[in-house]
Amino acid sequence: MSLNSVLRTGVSGMNAQANKLGTVADNIANTSTTGYKRSSVEFSSLVLGSAGGDYDSGAVQTSVIRAVDTAGSMRFTKSTTDLAIDGAGFFIVADDAGTAYLTRAGSFVPNASGELVNAAGYKLLGAPPNGATAANSAAGLVPVAVTEVNLSAVPTTTATLSANLASAAAIEAVPAGSNLATSTFSSKTSLAVYDLLGAPKTLDVFYTKTAASTWEVAVFDAADRPATGTFPYASPALQTGTLTFDANGALTAGGTLSVPVPDGNTATLDLTSTTQLAAAFEVRRAVADGSAPAKLRETKIAPDGTLTAIYDSGAVRELFQIALAKVAAPSKLTALSGNVYALNQESGALQVGTAGTSGLGTIASGALEQSNVDLASELTEMIEAQRSYTANSKVFQTGAEILTELVNLKR
């Protein structure tokens, strides 16, 4: 037996226990760190070859294991942008250079540009509406931003007008579409729309019976309406069309109309639900898309990661789709400062998807994942490491004393 090997073994044991004590200290220090994953030390023996009856003591080596795939408990907050993952997966974040990382720490707040960043300054990534993303790469993802002062004007592109036209209405000789002083009509309604700048416009819609089961529909700009009388308008009709009905009062032709919106683009007016029945004129449904500019009232994040903006006008707009990712071996990810993880060959390739699909968890808004550190267990580990360190130091001390006795034999 070599006394020198005893000394080296004692030093090896002390170093191993010091490593264990270091992970315990790190875990205890990060007990309150959002999304932190505890570290532990695994020991493995290093055996030296022995000859005959001699025994050369070996050593112990350590490897650090991070419980990345063990979720912490969830704590609810009052901030919409505090996010937690209920299940598997990671948020994808990026530094200022655009390099993508993974994290479970979802405490995000808007920066000066409205981009969601965590405490370490990493930006949350997601896909814009209808954006193309890769299933195995963060390419195509952009920083998620939540603060927009105003909603961009949304012009009207489609509208629906459902009405019943009285079958008993008289046939008019000069329909409204002719826009003459002698023009007459059977029924009239109006429809609110929006131009390219989001300014509200009103369309006057006239229905004129021109023959049995045949009606003219004429659309005018209400701004051209004469001050006295009904006709003529200051400008011709924006669009006219013909509606034809069968014997049962169902529409057979003229179901859609392309109407140029004043100071806007062309909108499709859907008239397919119009009927001609033995009842009074009645508007059953009148809707049009588009909206005026409005201030942002609040944002909401759905379990699938859809970030929606709600404006004072009542308009709702999808802004981003927060992306999640997973890897085959999350415990092998490389841990970096800022509670983020980097990919490596042992962790496996990146798989990007939508929350709630492909084995990924759902996103909880107004919640944070707490550290998965158990303080009682860490204190127990600390005591064990301390006792083992002391015992290894005694081995080293005893070996040193024996070596001293061996040297003193010469005296």
User: For residue range 247-303, what is the model confidence (pLDDT) as tens digits?
Assistant: 999 999 999 999 999 998 899 999 999 999 999 999 999 999 988 887 778 889 999
pLDDT digits (tens, 9 = 90+) for 323-372: 999 999 998 899 998 889 999 998 988 999 899 998 999 999 999 999 99
pLDDT digits (tens, 9 = 90+) for 12-24: 888 988 999 999 9
Cα–Cα distance between 205 and 304 in angstroms, integer? Answer: 42
Distances in Å between the Cα of 255 and the Cα atoms of 43, 48, 210, 231, 271 are: 78, 90, 17, 26, 5
In this structure, which CATH number among 1.20.120.420, 2.30.30.100, 2.60.98.20, 1.10.220.150 belongs to the domain 158-288? 2.60.98.20
pLDDT digits (tens, 9 = 90+) for 55-112: 777 788 888 888 888 888 999 999 999 999 999 999 999 998 989 999 999 999 999 8
Angle, CA of 104, 101 and 146, to the nearest 5°: 70
Cα–Cα distance between 352 and 329 in angstroms, integer? Answer: 15
Residue 51's pLDDT band, with cuts at 50, 70 and 90, is: low
CB 209 within 8 A of CB 170: yes
Residue 52's pLDDT band, with cuts at 50, 70 and 90, is: low
Cα–Cα distance between 167 and 246 in angstroms, integer? Answer: 11
Tell me what the pLDDT averaged over the chain comes to.
Answer: 89
Cα–Cα distance between 43 and 17 in angstroms, integer? Answer: 9
Evaluate if residue 396 carries a pLDDT over 70.
yes
pLDDT mean over 372-398: 89
Read off the DSSP letter of residue 222: G
Q: What is the 3-state secondary structure (H, E, C) of 318-385?
A: EEEEEEEEECCCHHHCEEECCCEEECCCCCCCCEEEECCCCCCCEEEECEEECCCCCHHHHHHHHHHH
Residues 6+ apart with CB under 8 A from 256: 268, 269, 270, 271, 272
- Give the residue extent of every domain in the chain: 3-67+372-408, 77-148+298-328+350-355, 158-288
Question: What is residue 72's three-state secondary structure?
Answer: coil
CB 102 within 8 A of CB 92: yes
pTM over 0.75: no
Evaluate if residue 151 carries a pLDDT over 80.
no
pLDDT digits (tens, 9 = 90+) for 111-145: 988 899 998 899 999 998 776 677 888 888 999 98
Residue 1's pLDDT band, with cuts at 50, 70 and 90, is: low
Cα–Cα distance between 92 and 108 in angstroms, integer? Answer: 12
Residues 6+ apart with CB under 8 A from 189: 161, 163, 205, 283, 286
